[in-house]
Amino acid sequence: MKAVLNPRTSRSHPFLMLLTLAAHTAMLLAVLMTTGLSAEFTKLACAVLAADFVGSVVLSMVQRQACTVDFVFLLTIGISTIYQSCFGGVTFAAKHYLFGLIAFVCCQLSYLLTRNPYRAERLKPLWYVLFGGLVLSILLFTGSRGIWIDLGFITLQPSEFVKPVFVLICATSMQTLLKKKEWHGIHFVPDNLGMLFCTAVIAGLQWWCRDLGSLPTFLAIAGFGILLRMYYLREKWSMRLIVFVGVCCCVLAVGALHFAPAYVQDRLNVDIWSDMSGNGYQQVRALTAIAEGGWFGKGAGNGSLHTVAAANTDIVFATISEEWGLFSALMTSVLVLFLPAAVLTVPPRSYYHAGLAVGVAAVFMVQMTLNIFGSCNLIPFTGVTIPLISQGGSSMLSSGILAGFLKAAQAPVLRAPESKQRRADA
């Protein structure tokens, strides 16, 4: 296969490099002016700027394909490291920084693995094996209905890695929509049934592990996958079928809310202001921190929300708002959403690439919405992280893999070798 390069990527490389360096330098200067010079600040500054320099050099040496995703990813990781290192005082978040670098490597590896739709199709059995292996690891090694695997030196959350595998399953199934089978007069696509089966397994697994806060993310991936099938050029969906699917979804949603476990009902019905020391504690503190931070914040290291549990994960939006201001928190959220948006603005090269981009967009958009709206008490608190911003190794690595999918969706189109093309023309 030969890749057709986009000449605009080489021209945008220096601009993106300077933009990344300027943004990180400005943030580091703001930290220096607020907290003063210290050994921890020196570590932080050297680490972030070194990543910018090395990353830019490496990216300039390789083929500049889909470099926008690379630099936005590098920019976001640097900003995230600065945020995580300044909550309540400057302490270099070395673990978060390290996982960010590993996630950047995962981004490149997943890009190389998934950019070719023909290879992704051939590897489809592997995606189902990975899915099954991750599900079994959750059931066998996380303990009593848990979601974490404790390896001693590190804890892993396998459900985070189910997300990119599920996106791949949905995307590769788009390539077989015309391969219909018939059984007793009923026409169906096997891969569609496989996607629906995986969705049902995930729903059951999330219920079993009592982690229903992550379920909307997986349902969004499946939902966007179904929408892509509705817009498939050769697929005819009757209005009757569309109405039937919509009614089924509504019935399932109402039934899920009615039969939700007690802890979910408590989250749905809690009045945080009348239960400020119980179920509403985190949201009350988060709202207070956002209000006290205002538009431009108290200054790096001057916040108090860092003493609350999950301040750097589930309510990280409020923690950033308190120290850096609501304006910075919103701009950071826009930056994360820019990753899939930059890819979706370009016409997809195939339904497979469209499936990758839409699946990743669903993950980023839903998780961002759940985290921010939950912190602001606009929806029940779910405990979902913000991709690339919240602390957590599993979440960071999963986000890196998903970013690689975006890079694959933005990559140049692959053409058949010239020799084969000439034989085909002859």
Domain residue spans of the chain: 2-425
**Cα gap 303→322, rounded to integer Å:** 6
Alpha helices in 36-157 (DSSP H): 39-61, 67-86, 94-114, 117-122, 124-141
Residue 364 scores a pLDDT above 90: yes
Residue 184: per-residue pLDDT:
60
Name the more confident of 218 and 150: 218
- For residue 412, what pLDDT band results from cuts at 50, 70 and 90? low
What are φ and ψ of residue 371, in 5° steps? Answer: -70, -50
Q: Residues 128-144: what's their mean pLDDT?
A: 88
367: amino acid identity, one letter: Q
Environment class of 117 (CB within 10 Å of its CB; exposed 0-12, middle 13-18, buried 19+)? buried
Q: Which range, 39-53, 297-311, 330-344, is most confident?
A: 39-53
If you count them, how many residues does the chain have? 426
Question: pLDDT averaged over the chain?
Answer: 82
Triad 58, 74, 57: Cα angle to 5°: 20
The confidence band for 263, taking pLDDT boundaries of 50, 70 and 90, is low
CB-neighbour burial class of residue 113 (10 A; exposed 0-12, middle 13-18, buried 19+)? middle
Q: pTM to 2 decimals?
A: 0.88
**15 has a pLDDT exceeding 90:** no
Burial 157-185 (b: 16+ CB within 10 A, else e): bbbbbbbbbbbbbbbbbbbebeeeeeeee
Q: Where are the alpha helices (H) located in 147-189, listed in sequence order?
A: 158-172
Residue 318 structure tokens: 């409020």
Residue-wise pLDDT tens digits, 182-240: 666 666 667 778 888 999 999 888 888 878 888 889 999 988 888 877 776 555 666 77
CB 166 within 8 A of CB 221: yes
Burial 60-69 (b: 16+ CB within 10 A, else e): eeeebbbbbb
Q: Which of 112-121, 140-149, 307-316, 320-329 has the highest mean pLDDT?
A: 320-329
